[in-house]
Each structure stands twice: as structure tokens, then as C-alpha cells.
Structure 1
Amino acid sequence: MESIEDVQHVVVHGHRRAYRMCGSGPALLLVHGLACDSSTWLEVMPTLAERFTVIAPDLLGHGQSDKPDADYSLGGYANGMRDLLTVLGIDKVTVVGHSFGGGVAMQFAYQFPDRTERVVLVATGGLGREVTPLIRFLTVPGSGLAIGAATSSPLRPVVSAAMRTLARLPVRATRDLGEVATIYEALADPAQRRAVQRVTSHVLNWHGQSVTMTDRSYLARLMPVLVIWGRDDVVIPASHADLAPTQVSDVHVLEDSGHFPHKDHPEKVARLVTEFVDSTEPAHYHRGRWRALLRRGGEYELESVTPSA
């Protein structure tokens, strides 16, 4: 198995997909957030790899993956995750998604319940409208030109250094600026900038998140769900955790943590994920139960429904 630092590549549908893969055991699929890449998981991967086969891809349009003029919708990303897993010979996973990646994780579970054992949502999008104005700005006409100018080579090192300096201050409002600096640098690439704007056009408008999964959250009765959030998240409010589909699992709001709890408390997040897998049975897809739940909108007891083919 390759080391955590190694980035591998495979071509799917004519596009090169980058991913990291390490460890052995039950499979965990780690899906990063908007304008990030698989490196966001590097601090939790060593611990998780002791128990699991960990797959952390760069989403299409991000990191070292290709950035074509392609489908950047939630459904398109879910399809891409399924196809990557198929190429890698992995049948079922516990899918872990951060921020926008949480929306991809929920969409993956919704589209492919037969391949999803559990869902872990980390400071996830897709549960409410509120989101930081910095992300909403990406939906404004002309924002691409503005970001291009703001990330030009004369400014970029100065701004990045200032963000990372502020991130070291003991101030809650600036704790995530180190990660923001990495995103800022990534947006200097015109191809990634276009891809990120294509993503935001599918799920956001100036008023906030326009696509949520709350209308389908009752389907979580058929699948274990774990939610992890940072108390001091200024990107997506921790109050969205109250809207999470947690009929069968728990919410953990971590103190002294912002939008990247897996960076703020990597050992604790790895432990929560490991304990979650150990304490829950993997979901088993039954078409009859799924059909009955859809027909009744969740307004019944699962135990009263006999699974059928």
C-alpha cells in the first residue's frame, strides 16, 4: 500500500483523478470541501489507516485532478466517487465528507445506498441556507475576475503570509485562516477557479445554500450517521448540526474548533470515526424498506415493515 503522502492517479471517463490511499481494513472514503484537496485529511489519515483502508480523492476540478468543462453538480460528484471506487475494486464504504464534501457524501448515500455503510458529516454543507459571505461572493457576476486580480503574483505571497500569521493568534475568528490561505493560493489557478465557480453555481446563490438534503433526512433511519462540528465555525454555523439526520447516531460539537475540526483536533476526530464504525452495524440496503420509507415520507416505524426484494 502506498504511503499517506503519495498521490496516485487513475483515468476515469477520460479525466485524470488524483487520490491518496493507505491502510487496510474496512473502507473509508474521505471527501474534502470546496477549493480544498485530499491534503486536508493528512493529519487524520495515519490514525485511521491503522484500522481502515482510507481513500482520499481530489475531487474533479480540485487539487491534482483534472479540471475539465464537466459536470460539477452534487450528483456528478457522487457518480465520480462511485466510479473511482469501482476502478479501485472497493464495493462498500463509510463515506466521510467535510463542508461541501458532506453534501457529496449525503448525495452518494442517497444515490448509492447499496454501496454506503455509514455517513460521517464534518461541518457539512447541505443542512441550511446560512454560509459565509466569502463563499456567497463566488456566485456574483464578475467575481472570477476579482479573485484573479486578488490572487495575482505580486499580492499572493503577502496575503498568504498575513493570513497564516493571523491564524496563529489566539482568536476564534481567525483560527481557520491557515486553511483559507491554502484555498486562496489554489484559486490563483484559473482552471481551479472556474471549476469552483461551477460548483457554487449548482448549490449556492447570493442568499446562501440553495440545495439542502433536509427534505430527505428521514432516509437516515436506514443508515448510521455521525455529525462532527466545530463550535466556533464561522463558515457554516454549528447550529446547522441541529438539522442533521441523526435518528440513529450522535452529534459531536467540538470546543476550541472552527470549520476544520479534523485539523484542529485530528486525534479526537479519528477516534470519533473509529468508535462510530465499531459501535454501529453497517447499513444493509433493502429495496422494500427503501420503497416503503419513500412512499410514506418516514411517517411510520421501520420495525413494522418487512424487508422485501
Structure 2
Amino acid sequence: MGPTTRVRTGGGRLGAVPQRDADLRYRTVHGYRRAFRVAGSGPPIVLIHGIGDSSTTWESVIPALARRHLVIAPDLLGHGRSDKPRADYSVAAYANGVRDLLGVLGVPRATLVGHSFGGGVAMQFAYQFPERTERLVLIGSGGAGPDVNPGLRLMSMPGAALALNALRLPGMRWQVGAAVEMLKALGTALGLDAPDMLRIVDALPDATARAAFIRTLRAVVDWRGQVVTMLDRCYLTRGMPTLLVWGRRDAIVPVAHAYRAHEAMPGSRLEIFPEAGHFPFHTDPARFVGLLEDFLGSTEPARWSPEQWRQLLRATGGATGAVSPAEERSAT
């Protein structure tokens, strides 16, 4: 086993953490058990997964990142091994949950890395708690326009729980699997992302988990597409080192959203993975880790004070980069 580190928490020490092997641990926050993986030592990085996923999605990149950083990857409430209560599953509530977990672990500031829905959570965290955010990394992130995969729109509608239950029937699961293999053989973008999406559905073991998935989805998606936007507040990332990572063949959140977010975020860096879909860190984990390490090494952490935040709001208070009514109608 390699070197270890210790992280102080509100109730004592977290204990020895392996340098490279992500250890699944638990803390109770506001009465609910929160699961999280932790590895390494150094400047902290928080990895936030997408809807229906869990911290296991980061397994291919955590060991490399943990060589130089303290890596914390939570299972968001309602996901993975965390509790799944009937609760608030909004983006803002998740941002609060990340803050509270970091508070319990004694981590005052961190770089936030968010994938898909987790990108929206990371952006919301930076908006709510700029003084606790050092950098932002958004991967195939939601919030940059209404467009989203039609399957997610359908899953936000009434009857979604029945559809999820049906996908778990043995005969139906075989048919869906065969369709996915056909899409992959045809070289379609949906074929790239479908296996990961099926993996997420397969990881919803019971009605409680499926209900949490649907509640989370409905907080950000309806039949018309995404209902939450970050574009009206993107100007607030001025002075916040920001990296955008997208797969050119993303079938869940179109790559056009990457360019839109990049334009709306002053000073942001955009990296496109040409052969990747919605999970570029799965397609090429080595390239992803290299990009992230280069970004972390070439940027200085943001340092916000309440007065700086107030001045930025007053100086650039107009929403820029927002989706126009015509663009919104195009998604219907």
C-alpha cells in the first residue's frame, strides 16, 4: 500500500486513506447516510457524477488523480450507496449537500469536477459558494440549453417508473441489449452512449432508487427538454478557472452546448474528444487525466471575497448568453 493521508472531520479524523485506492466511506449528514469515495493527498478535487450514476463512474481516473490530489467522489443523495429518501433533489439542494459533506470532512475549498447533471451541481456550487470553489471542470454538462436526449424527456413524463420496471424484465432487457449492439455496430453516436445509460438503469436496484432517479430527472428535465439553465449566470465565472470537456459524438447533451457554454464563460478552456460520446473520461481516461492535471497545474485557484462577488454582480448584472425564446421553441 502506498502513502496515506488523514482528513480531519467534525467528529474526529476520517482515518488513513490509501494513496491510490478509492475507499468507500460513509457519513451521516442531516440524518441521511452519505456514501463517498476518498483517495490520495494534496489539493482537494471533488468528482460529481450524473443522474442515476454513482461514484463508481470515476473508477478509471481516481487512482491517477490521487497521486497528487485528495480526491473525494460522493454518491449524491438518492444515488449509489447513499440513502434515497423522499427529499429535495434539486440542483441547489445537491450543491448544499456537497458543501455539507465537505464541511463534515473538514475540506474548506476544492476544485469541482462535474459530469452531466453533476456539472450543473458543480456550477450551482460555484454560484452559491464562490469562496469555497477554486476551479470548475464541466464534462458534458447540463444547463447550457434545452436540448437533451429524447429518451430522458420521455423518462420525465408520467409512467416513467413503469417503463423503468419494464426494462428490468429479462425478455425486455435482452431485446434492448440487442438493439444497443446494433446501434454500436452501425457506428451511431447513440450506440456510444447507450451501454453507459443501460448500466445506469441496471444499477437502480429497487423502486426507491428508481423513484429517486425520476425525481432528480424531473428537477431538470421535462417533455420539452432541460428546464434549468446556467447561461444567465455564466458571466460570474470571470476570474474562476474553468475547463469544459465534451465528446463530439455526445448523444445525451449535444456538443453544440459546449461551444455555447464556452462563449458564455469568459476565459474558459474547451477540450473536445472527437471519438467520445457523453462519457469522455471513460473513452480515454489517460487523456482526461492529462488534461485535468495540466489545467490544475497551469491555473491559480480562484480567491473570492464577498466584496469582489458584490462588485461583479453590480458591474455585469445583465444575463449574457441566455437561450433565446426561438432557441427554446426549437427544442419542442
Q: Which secondary structure state, in structure 2, belongs to the residue aligned with residue 222 of structure 1?
A: coil
Q: Which residue of 1 aligns with 2:321?
A: none
Preserved CA contact (<8 Å) 1:169 1:175: no
Give how far 1:4 is off. 3.0
Give how far 1:205 is off. 1.1
Q: Which residue of 1 aligns with 2:265?
A: 246
2:241 pairs with 1:219? no
Q: Which secondary structure state, in structure 1, belongs to the residue aligned with residue 297 of structure 2?
A: helix
TM-score by length of 2: 0.85
Q: Which secondary structure state, in structure 2, belongs to the residue aligned with residue 7 of structure 1?
A: strand
Q: Which residue of 2 aligns with 1:307?
A: none
Distance in 1 (alpha carbons) for counterparts of 2:233 and 2:118 = 17
Q: AA paired with 1:89?
A: G
Give how far 1:246 is off. 3.2
Q: Which secondary structure state, in structure 2, belongs to the residue aligned with residue 126 of structure 1?
A: coil
Distance in 1 (alpha carbons) for counterparts of 2:300 and 2:63 = 24
2:294 pairs with 1:272? no
Preserved CA contact (<8 Å) 1:97 1:105: yes
Deviations along 1:29-48, whole A, 9 cap, x unmatched? 00001111111111111111
Change (3 A) 1:288 1:62: same
Distance in 2 (alpha carbons) for counterparts of 1:275 and 1:175 = 27
Q: AA paired with 2:104?
A: V
Deviations along 1:60-119, whole A, 9 cap, x unmatched? 111111100111011110010001111111111000000000000000000111110000
Change (3 A) 1:153 1:9: farther
Distance in 2 (alpha carbons) for counterparts of 1:72 and 1:273 = 28
Instruction: Count residues with an aligned counterpart.
Output: 298
Q: Which residue of 2 aligns with 1:285?
A: 304
Change (3 A) 1:49 1:195: same
Change (3 A) 1:13 1:247: same
2:313 pairs with 1:297? no
Change (3 A) 1:267 1:11: same
Q: Which residue of 2 aligns with 1:143?
A: 160
Q: AA paired with 1:171?
A: G
2:100 pairs with 1:100? no
Q: AA paired with 1:252?
A: E
Query: Greater shift after overlay, 54-63 or 168-177?
Result: 168-177
Q: Which secondary structure state, in structure 2, belongs to the residue aligned with residue 118 of structure 1?
A: strand
Distance in 2 (alpha carbons) for counterparts of 1:149 and 1:167 = 21
TM-score by length of 1: 0.91
2:190 pairs with 1:171? no
Q: Which secondary structure state, in structure 2, belongs to the residue aligned with residue 258 of structure 1?
A: coil
Gap regions ≥5 residues in structure 1: 300-309
**Aligned alpha-carbon RMSD (Å):** 1.8
Q: Which residue of 2 aligns with 1:113?
A: 130
Q: Which secondary structure state, in structure 2, belongs to the residue aligned with residue 175 of structure 1?
A: helix
Q: Which residue of 2 aligns with 1:305?
A: none
Identity %: 47
Q: Within 5 A, what are the aligned runs for 1:47-196?
A: 47-156=64-173, 158-159=174-175, 161-162=177-178, 165=181, 169=185, 171-173=187-189, 174-196=191-213
Q: Which residue of 2 aligns with 1:236?
A: 253
Change (3 A) 1:264 1:202: same
Change (3 A) 1:170 1:41: farther
Q: Which residue of 2 aligns with 1:26?
A: 43
